[in-house]
């Protein structure tokens, strides 16, 4: 009985010791679990952060890649522009060469032209000297001719005076032979004049009046259309100047 009790007590002691160790290990396991959970949480946080950074890096890489593509396109365009620029420079150099050549030719022609102008200048100077000499001769000749012309003009004036005197004498004879009247009025709308000669003066329809100014210069003609005893109406056929036939000028039957 005592042995059993002692054995039972020993077993219970062993169980208690085992339970103590189990309780210690369980508590340690719980702490270890908490530590591991904490570590796992930190790892997950870091993992998320790394994933976000990786995602941002991927986006940045795509942007860099896109920018790189744009740069490659711009570079290709720059190469093409540079090629065009080189071609343009080559064309400009060709044009410059042709222009230089043309300028040289123009300069040569200009030199020839200047030489020709100098020659022509000398000829012109000689011509001017000749003209001056000829002018002097002309002036001398002109003086002599002027003297002759003045003498001849005096003779001509004398002849004109004689002719004018003869014309006035002939005109006076005409006035004495024909009826002389005067223009009493003029109608510009219908272009006719009223003359101070009529049936009593022997005026008939279709007679012709010659119109004279105060110096008895012929200035127009008029044809009789209507006749009264003392006046007649005549249509103006022509006149030397516009409206020169007016009241007071002489009208003589031809």
- pLDDT tens readout for residues 31-78: 877 887 888 888 888 888 888 887 887 777 788 788 888 888 988 888
Q: Is 222 helix (H, G, I), strand (E, B) or coil?
A: strand
CA dist 54 → 41, 42, 44, 67 (Å)? 19, 18, 15, 19
Give residue 166's pLDDT: 45
Query: For residue 73, is it left (φ>0), alpha (ψ between -120 and 50) or beta?
Result: alpha
What average pLDDT does the segment 104-118 reach?
80
- Percent of the chain's residues with pLDDT above 70: 73
How distant is the alpha carbon of residue 88 from its chain centre? 32
Q: Are 188 and 250 in contact (CB under 8 A)?
A: no
What is the DSSP-derived secondary structure letter of residue 230? S
Give residue 97's pLDDT: 78
């Amino acid at each position: 009985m005592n042995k059993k009790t002692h054995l039972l007590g020993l077993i219970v002691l062993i169980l208690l010791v085992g339970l103590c160790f189990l309780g210690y290990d369980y508590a340690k396991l719980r702490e270890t679990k908490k530590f591991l959970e904490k570590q796992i949480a930190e790892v997950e946080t870091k993992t998320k952060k790394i994933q976000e950074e990786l995602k941002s890096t991927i986006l940045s890489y795509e942007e860099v890649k896109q920018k790189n593509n744009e740069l490659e396109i711009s570079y290709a365009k720059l190469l093409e522009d540079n090629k065009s620029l080189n071609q343009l420079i080559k064309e400009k150099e060709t044009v410059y060469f042709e222009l230089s050549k043309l300028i040289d030719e123009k300069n040569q022609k200009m030199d020839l032209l200047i030489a020709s102008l100098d020659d022509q200048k000398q000829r012109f100077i000689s011509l001017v000297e000749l003209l001056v000499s000829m002018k002097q001769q002309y002036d001398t000749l002109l003086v002599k001719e002027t003297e002759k012309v003045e003498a001849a003009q005096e003779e001509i004036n004398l002849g004109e005076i004689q002719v004018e005197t003869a014309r006035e004498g002939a005109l006076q004879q005409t006035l004495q032979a024909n009826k002389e009247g005067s223009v009493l009025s003029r109608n510009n709308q219908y272009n006719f004049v009223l003359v101070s000669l009529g049936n009593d003066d022997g005026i008939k329809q279709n007679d012709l009046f010659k119109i004279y100014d105060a110096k008895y210069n012929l200035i127009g003609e008029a044809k009789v259309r209507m006749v009264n005893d003392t006046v007649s109406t005549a249509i103006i056929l022509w006149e030397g100047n516009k409206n020169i036939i007016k009241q007071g000028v002489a009208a003589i039957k031809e």
